[in-house]
């Protein structure tokens, strides 16, 4: 079976409905039209993590160098600074809290050096501050640091998911981060199947204990750069509320406190941004910790990380020494207007409107009919930029004016037909925008990008844009890279539409013809009316011509990210 068609044959939302229902047909129709289809929330159970989770975790700041006192000091810091009241309310203890061995009953044991009174009093103290309590475990036989994991022993045997989850419930755990080191893969089995089995077992254990715990899955991060990555990203939503897809944010090192860490912010942003099709309220891509405000990050870089994460609706989990955050950093991290962009009920991923070597322009639809716009400056000099409503898919007419609220300065730009951005090096501009009625509803407009699996370079070199010339090239931010996805699924640029004519796509006059419609699958394929895939052939360090080819399974030259 060609598994590449799984999404088209039976999208997730259809799997939950009895066949033959009118609703099924209707959903099928909607799903087929150039939009990935998502499972609806289970009725009768309250949705966990309806907005991206927020909180604090020790790892990027302390790694294993912490005690219960450090955890509680940071919890107090969240309350004292007001960050808890702004939503950073879940305190999670990461790796190294447990011992290497279990007790005679097979229970996990807290490390007595770090937790002399055990874990329960720590959980109680955190709850007593009005905060939620999170804990780390691992789907393998050992955690990443070599301590007792919940998964099957090395070589096979009984796992401890249910037993450990019962223990967590007895402590009052509200949030579980399940890492993915050292997962046992039986002979003849695949790594992907072993991970799925482990995460499914954890999910079943969470249901069995009947205490609501937000479930954060690290499984995809262990497949980053491989074709299996997309398969794993497709199933994590069936089990948990958020998932780490990739490499860790750079940690703080006591011996090298001044090491710059902004590069890891840009890298995690670059792999998270193209994955919008996997997320929705209750299911979030997790780009890893907010290290903004910590050592190795300037205030501009702190603004940038918070705004980028907010544009992506990413979880906001601080990992810093809260007591050492400067008042300026606390003000940035607690900026209510920016946090409201992150926590917006629609939960959209930002659209990449434009990217060049130094700058990204982002656009995000918000609930209530407003929008967010951000301009990131990755370069070393300030940039000035003039943006127009049409850049974001608004109607290009003289009456279309945007009112823009600058979320850092708190000042309003009165209604105007342009938006002026002046952005310092490593900084970001971010506005909440209202559009005049004549602007209409914006179409999905922006870059169509391809991120080749297995490439671990910085994003300047990593991102390839579909150009109207009919090839894929390094993104340059030109108008030739601006596309609109029409409601019927046509890919339109400069007034023409991309048509798969005789195996060679070309730009032709737009019409309502079926051959101009593309289906966009969850795995990221653009599928023609004939069931074939838009492909960018050839080495990905050169201009790659487009072709139409049989869809492969997670073939990196057939995976696209579209405006959301």
The residues that are catalytic are 179, 248
User: Whole-number minimum distance, CB 147 to ligand GLA, in Å?
Assistant: 9
By CB under 6 A, the residues from 412 to 441 that bind ligand GLA are none
> Given the complex with ligand GLA, which of 136 and 141 has the nearer CB atom?
136
Give the binding-site size for ligand GLA (rule: CB under 6 A): 11
> Given the complex with ligand GLA, which of 179 and 427 has the nearer CB atom?
179
> Given the complex with ligand GLA, which of 218 and 283 has the nearer CB atom?
218
Note whether 228 and 245 are within 8 A (CB).
Answer: no
Note whether 412 and 405 are within 8 A (CB).
Answer: yes
User: What span, in angstroms and rounded, lies between the C-alpha atoms of 444 and 277?
Assistant: 13
> Given the complex with ligand GLA, which of 218 and 234 has the nearer CB atom?
218
DSSP state of 516: G
User: Whole-number minimum distance, CB 144 to ligand GLA, in Å?
Assistant: 3
Among residues 7, 51, 53, 59, which is the contact residue for ligand GLA, using CB under 6 A? 59
| 540 part of the interface to ligand GLA, by CB under 6 A | no
Among residues 70, 142, 145, 238, which is the contact residue for ligand GLA, using CB under 6 A? 145
By CB under 6 A, the residues from 1 to 30 that bind ligand GLA are none
| 483 part of the interface to ligand GLA, by CB under 6 A | no
DSSP state of 41: P
> Given the complex with ligand GLA, which of 109 and 351 has the nearer CB atom?
109
Name the strands in the sheet holding 471-474, side by side, starting at the edge strand that comes first in the sequence.
449-451, 463-467, 471-474, 544-549, 533-536, 526-527, 519-520
Nearest by Cα to 306 from 7, 320, 255: 320
- The CA-atom distances, in angstroms, between 558 and each of 90, 455, 460, 526, 553 are 39, 15, 20, 7, 9
Among residues 70, 142, 248, 473, which is the contact residue for ligand GLA, using CB under 6 A? 248
Q: Classify strands 444-446 and 483-485 as parallel, antiparallel or unpaired.
A: antiparallel
Region binding ligand GLA by CB under 6 A among candidate stretches 44-52, 141-149, 163-171, 496-504:
141-149
* Cα 266 off chain centre by: 13
Region binding ligand GLA by CB under 6 A among candidate stretches 4-12, 137-145, 222-230, 268-276:
137-145
> Given the complex with ligand GLA, which of 165 and 218 has the nearer CB atom?
218
Among residues 27, 89, 94, 449, which is the contact residue for ligand GLA, using CB under 6 A? 94
User: Whole-number minimum distance, CB 359 to ligand GLA, in Å?
Assistant: 29
Among residues 58, 95, 245, 474, which is the contact residue for ligand GLA, using CB under 6 A? 95
Q: Which residues touch 304 (CB under 8 Å, ≥6 apart)?
A: 262, 265, 292, 376, 426, 427, 428
> Given the complex with ligand GLA, which of 179 and 391 has the nearer CB atom?
179
By CB under 6 A, the residues from 155 to 184 that bind ligand GLA are 179
| 144 part of the interface to ligand GLA, by CB under 6 A | yes
User: Whole-number minimum distance, CB 282 to ligand GLA, in Å?
Assistant: 22
How many residues are recorded in the chain? 564
Region binding ligand GLA by CB under 6 A among candidate stretches 109-117, 138-146, 260-268, 453-461:
138-146
First and final CA of the chain: distance in angstroms?
30
Region binding ligand GLA by CB under 6 A among candidate stretches 136-144, 151-159, 392-400, 491-499:
136-144
DSSP characters over 219-284: GGGGGTTSTHHHHHHHHGGGT-SEEE-SPPPPPP-TTSTT---HHHHHHHHHHHGGGGGG-BTTBE
User: Whole-number minimum distance, CB 242 to ligand GLA, in Å?
Assistant: 13
User: What span, in angstroms and rounded, lies between the C-alpha atoms of 270 and 262?
Assistant: 12
Region binding ligand GLA by CB under 6 A among candidate stretches 81-89, 142-150, 163-171, 299-307:
142-150
User: Whole-number minimum distance, CB 334 to ligand GLA, in Å?
Assistant: 24
User: What span, in angstroms and rounded, lies between the C-alpha atoms of 284 and 309?
Assistant: 12
Three-state DSSP class for residue 107: coil
Region binding ligand GLA by CB under 6 A among candidate stretches 139-147, 397-405, 528-536, 544-552:
139-147
User: Whole-number minimum distance, CB 141 to ligand GLA, in Å?
Assistant: 14
> Given the complex with ligand GLA, which of 217 and 342 has the nearer CB atom?
217
Angle at 304 between CA 339 and CA 461, to 5 degrees: 130
> Given the complex with ligand GLA, which of 95 and 557 has the nearer CB atom?
95
Three-state DSSP class for residue 362: strand
The partner residues of 392 in beta bridges, in order of sequence, read none
User: Whole-number minimum distance, CB 251 to ligand GLA, in Å?
Assistant: 9
User: Whole-number minimum distance, CB 338 to ligand GLA, in Å?
Assistant: 24
Q: Classify strands 412-416 and 214-217 as parallel, antiparallel or unpaired.
A: unpaired
Region binding ligand GLA by CB under 6 A among candidate stretches 110-118, 140-148, 402-410, 476-484:
140-148
Nearest by Cα to 139 from 188, 96, 177, 83: 177
> Given the complex with ligand GLA, which of 164 and 391 has the nearer CB atom?
164
Name the strands in the sheet holding 359-365, side by side, starting at the edge strand that comes first in the sequence.
351-355, 359-365, 371-377, 428-435, 402-406, 412-416
Tokens matching residue 332:
């940035």
Residues lying near ligand GLA in the complex (CB under 6 A): 59, 94-95, 136, 143-145, 179, 218, 221, 248
């Amino acid at each position: 079976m060609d598994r590449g068609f799984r999404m088209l044959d039976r999208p997730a939302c259809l799997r939950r409905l009895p066949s033959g229902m009118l609703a099924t047909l209707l959903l099928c129709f909607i799903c087929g039209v150039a939009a990935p289809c998502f499972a609806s929330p289970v009725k009768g159970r309250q949705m966990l993590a309806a907005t991206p989770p927020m909180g604090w975790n020790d790892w990027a700041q302390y790694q294993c160098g912490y005690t219960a006192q450090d955890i509680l000091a940071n919890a107090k810091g969240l309350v004292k600074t007001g960050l808890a009241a702004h939503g950073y309310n879940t305190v999670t203890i990461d790796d190294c809290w447990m011992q290497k061995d279990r007790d005679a009953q097979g229970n996990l044991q807290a490390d007595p050096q770090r937790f002399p009174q055990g874990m329960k009093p720590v959980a109680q103290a955190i709850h007593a501050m009005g905060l939620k309590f999170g804990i780390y475990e691992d789907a393998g036989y050992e955690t990443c640091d070599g301590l007792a994991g919940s998964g099957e022993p090395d070589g096979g045997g009984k796992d401890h998911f249910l037993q450990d989850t019962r223990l967590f419930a007895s402590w009052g755990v509200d949030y579980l981060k399940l890492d993915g080191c050292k997962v046992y893969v039986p002979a003849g089995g695949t790594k992907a199947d072993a991970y799925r089995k482990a995460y499914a077992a954890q999910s079943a254990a969470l249901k069995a204990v009947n205490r609501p715990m937000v479930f954060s899955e690290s499984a995809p991060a262990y497949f980053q750069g491989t074709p299996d990555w997309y398969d794993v990203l497709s199933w994590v939503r069936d089990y948990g509320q958020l998932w780490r897809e990739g490499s860790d944010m750079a940690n703080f090192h006591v011996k090298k406190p001044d090491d710059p860490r902004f590069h890891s912010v840009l890298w995690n942003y670059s792999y998270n941004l193209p994955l919008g099709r996997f997320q929705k309220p209750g299911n979030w891509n997790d780009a890893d910790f907010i290290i903004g405000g910590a050592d190795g990050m300037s205030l501009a870089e702190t603004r940038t990380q918070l705004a980028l994460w907010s544009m992506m609706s990413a979880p906001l989990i601080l990992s810093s020494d809260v007591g050492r955050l400067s008042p300026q950093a606390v003000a940035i991290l607690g900026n209510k207007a920016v946090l409201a962009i992150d926590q917006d009920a629609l939960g959209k991923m930002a659209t990449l409107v434009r990217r060049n070597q130094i700058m990204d322009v982002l656009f995000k639809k918000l609930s209530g009919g407003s929008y967010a716009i951000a301009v990131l400056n990755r370069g070393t000099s300030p940039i000035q930029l003039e943006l127009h409503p049409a850049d974001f898919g608004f109607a290009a007419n003289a009456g279309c004016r945007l009112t823009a609220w600058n979320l850092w300065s708190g000042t309003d730009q009165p209604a105007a037909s342009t938006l002026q951005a002046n952005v310092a090096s490593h900084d970001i501009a971010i506005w909440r925008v209202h559009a005049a009625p004549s602007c209409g509803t914006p179409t999905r407009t922006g870059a169509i990008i391809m991120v080749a699996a297995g490439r671990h370079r910085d994003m300047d070199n990593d991102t390839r844009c579909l150009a109207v010339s009919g090839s894929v090239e390094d993104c340059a931010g030109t108008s030739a890279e601006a596309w609109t996805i029409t409601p019927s699924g046509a890919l339109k640029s400069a007034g023409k539409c991309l048509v798969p004519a005789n195996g060679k796509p070309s730009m032709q006059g737009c019409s309502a013809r079926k051959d101009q419609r593309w289906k966009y699958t969850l795995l990221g394929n653009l599928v023609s009316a004939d069931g074939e895939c838009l492909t960018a052939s050839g080495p990905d360090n050169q201009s790659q011509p487009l072709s139409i080819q049989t869809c492969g399974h997670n073939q990196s030259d057939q995976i696209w990210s579209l405006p959301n």
